[in-house]
């Protein structure tokens, strides 16, 4: 995850972690609209002052929270093939999205449609991280000699993100293998 | 769109249309959480009784409303190539999502994560329609002799849906051409 924005606070990683954990729990329980800095402080046994020493706004707190969730879903992969890497990325993502975490992220995406500040931080903290991981996977594929020419990494990251969220949107009806086949073919042949 | 669920109401397509139009306006202005059947009735110059003669719940009204929006985005296409069809589907989608409509749909997706009834109707009315259009486009491609073997139409519909929504989620930074290249390659080579 990114470091909380330093605003002259004393360093206290344990309290940072407690506040982020409380924010995750509040997001899962209440969604973005229901989350308040007061509620997060109360759950962490801390104070809103402690929150505002670390983050300038609810949106910034939530952005760091979302970044933490996404980092769990984006552990590095290197299986030896592009198809293997994509399958493992999707498996990590599903594991990280269990227990209400995916639902919490989905409410953030929905809320961002009426909240430009939230949209901007989500774009940077969540989507930006996914894109960086995708670029790494594509670079690994290229280094192995797999064809990756002509692939727009940003567009591909968007497709992969949504494949990862699809169980939340359309249920468990679509097997990962179907996505892996489509996405691997897309990468190998987009340059033709 | 699907017909409003008949519950013994007198047929009155003009009032059906006025209620749907009012629901669209309320969704754009207030999002799903803010929409009420009383507000929709007021805006349409009608009554909540008129709404409940047509739809059993807010979720059903919203489902028919979403279906109307999606039908506008899913006009039939037949350009002579798969790539052309996909480009036109994306262009239709962007046009239909302008003016706050896409934002309204995005709030529905977000809200569906905490509302199982809404999730079920969205799945059927919105995602089901997209899948049907995708199947038609794939059938056209097959009839022309383009390779479509091995494509999971449901997974592909999900990827296409999200390509269409991406300007709302990550801004206008990803050109449709990048998606068309990826998605066309995916279809043509998924069976390899």
| B110 vs B2: which has the higher pLDDT | B110
3-state secondary structure of A99: coil
Same domain, B95 and B141: yes
**CA gap A176, B14 in Å, rounded:** 45
Q: Is residue B138 part of a domain?
A: yes
Judged by CB atoms closer than 8 Å, whether chains meet at A185 and B192 is answered as yes
Same domain, A52 and A139: no
Q: Are A119 and A112 in contact (CB under 8 A)?
A: yes
pLDDT value at residue A12: 85
Q: Residues for chain B: how many in total?
A: 192
Rounded to the nearest angstrom, the minimum Cα separation between B75 and chain A is 22
Rounded to the nearest angstrom, the minimum Cα separation between B184 and chain A is 7
Residue range(s) defining the domain that contains residue B80: 66-189
Same domain, B167 and B184: yes
Q: By the CB < 8 Å criterion, does A28 face chain B?
A: no
Q: Is residue A4 part of a domain?
A: no
User: A residues 32-71 near B, CB within 8 Å?
Assistant: 33
Q: pLDDT digits over B95-149, tens only?
A: 888 878 887 887 787 777 778 888 888 888 888 888 999 999 999 999 999 999 8
Same domain, A123 and A154: yes
Q: Is residue B4 part of a domain?
A: no
Q: By the CB < 8 Å criterion, does A178 face chain B?
A: yes
Residues of A in contact with B113 (CB under 8 A): 31, 102-103, 106-107, 110, 168
Same domain, A57 and A76: no
**CA gap B82, B188 in Å, rounded:** 9
CATH code for the domain of B126: 1.10.357.10
By Cβ distance, the residue of B113, B156, B183 closest to A168 is B113
Torsion sign, CA atoms A151, A157, A160, A162: negative
Mean pLDDT of chain A: 87
Q: Over range A44-64, report the average pLDDT.
A: 93
Q: Cite the DSSP H helix spans in chain A.
A: 13-34, 37-44, 48-54, 58-73, 82-97, 101-112, 116-122, 128-144, 153-170, 176-189
Residues of B in contact with A191 (CB under 8 A): 181
pLDDT value at residue B171: 75
Same domain, B42 and B113: no
Judged by CB atoms closer than 8 Å, whether chains meet at A171 and B112 is answered as no
CATH code for the domain of B28: 1.10.10.60
Q: Over range B30-38, report the average pLDDT.
A: 88
Same domain, A71 and A84: yes
Output the CA angle B152-B155-B156, nearest 5 degrees.
80
Q: Is residue A6 part of a domain?
A: no
Q: Over range B75-102, report the average pLDDT.
A: 91
With a cut of 70, say whether residue A9 has pLDDT above it.
no
**CA gap A172, B46 in Å, rounded:** 40
Residue among A121, A192, A127 nearest A158 (CA): A127
ipTM confidence: 0.84
pLDDT value at residue B10: 58
Judged by CB atoms closer than 8 Å, whether chains meet at A189 and B190 is answered as no
Among A40, A65, A90, the domain boundary falls at: A65
Q: Is residue B89 part of a domain?
A: yes
Q: pLDDT digits over A103-154, tens only?
A: 788 778 777 777 788 888 888 888 888 899 999 999 999 999 999 988 999 9
Q: Is residue A168 part of a domain?
A: yes
What count of other Cβ atoms lies within 10 Å of the Cβ of residue B111?
A: 24
Judged by CB atoms closer than 8 Å, whether chains meet at A31 and B114 is answered as yes
Residue among B171, B85, B128 nearest A124 (CA): B171
Among A21, A39, A65, the domain boundary falls at: A65
Q: Is residue A8 part of a domain?
A: no
Q: By the CB < 8 Å criterion, does B172 face chain A?
A: no
pLDDT value at residue B95: 87
With a cut of 60, say whether residue A13 has pLDDT above it.
yes
Same domain, A52 and A71: no
**CA gap B168, B181 in Å, rounded:** 20
**Could you please report the per-residue DSSP string of chain B?**
-PPPPPSSPPP-HHHHHHHHHHHHHHHHHHHHHH--HHHHHHHHT--HHHHHHH-SSHHHHHHHHHHHHHHHHT-----SSHHHHHHHHHHHHHHHHTTTHHHHHHHHHHHHTT-HHHHHHHIIIIIHHHHHHHHHHHHHHHHHT---TT--HHHHHHHHHHHHHHHHHHGGGS-HHHHHHHHHHHHHHTT-
Q: By the CB < 8 Å criterion, does A166 face chain B?
A: yes
**CA gap A160, B155 in Å, rounded:** 11
Output the CA angle B154-B110-B94, nearest 5 degrees.
65
With a cut of 60, say whether residue B7 has pLDDT above it.
no
What region, left, alpha or beta, does residue A145 occupy, with left being phi > 0 and alpha being psi -120 to 50 degrees?
left
Number of structural domains found in chain A = 2
Same domain, B98 and B43: no
What do you get for the CA distance between the two ends of chain A, in Å?
37
With a cut of 50, say whether residue B1 has pLDDT above it.
no
Same domain, B41 and B104: no
Q: Over range B49-78, report the average pLDDT.
A: 90
Same domain, A95 and A22: no
**CA gap A73, A104 in Å, rounded:** 14
Q: Is residue B153 part of a domain?
A: yes
Same domain, B95 and B145: yes
């Amino acid at each position: 995850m990114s470091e909380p924005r330093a605003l002259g606070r004393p360093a206290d990683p344990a309290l940072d972690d407690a506040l982020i954990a409380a924010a995750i729990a509040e997001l899962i329980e209440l969604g973005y609209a229901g989350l308040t800095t007061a509620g997060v402080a109360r759950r962490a046994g801390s104070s809103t002052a402690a929150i505002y020493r670390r983050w300038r706004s609810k949106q910034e707190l939530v952005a760091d929270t979302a970044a933490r969730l996404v980092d769990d879903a984006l552990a590095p992969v290197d299986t030896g093939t592009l198809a293997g890497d994509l399958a493992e990325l999707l498996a990590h993502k599903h594991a990280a999205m269990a227990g209400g975490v995916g639902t919490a992220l989905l409410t953030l995406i929905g809320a961002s449609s009426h909240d430009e500040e939230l949209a901007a931080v989500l774009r940077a903290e969540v989507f930006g991280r996914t894109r960086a991981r995708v670029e790494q996977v594509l670079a690994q594929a290229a280094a192995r000699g797999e064809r990756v020419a002509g692939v727009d990494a940003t567009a591909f990251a968007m497709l992969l993100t949504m494949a990862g969220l699809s169980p939340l949107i359309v249920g468990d009806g679509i097997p990962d293998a179907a996505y892996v086949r489509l996405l691997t073919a897309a990468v190998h042949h987009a340059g033709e």
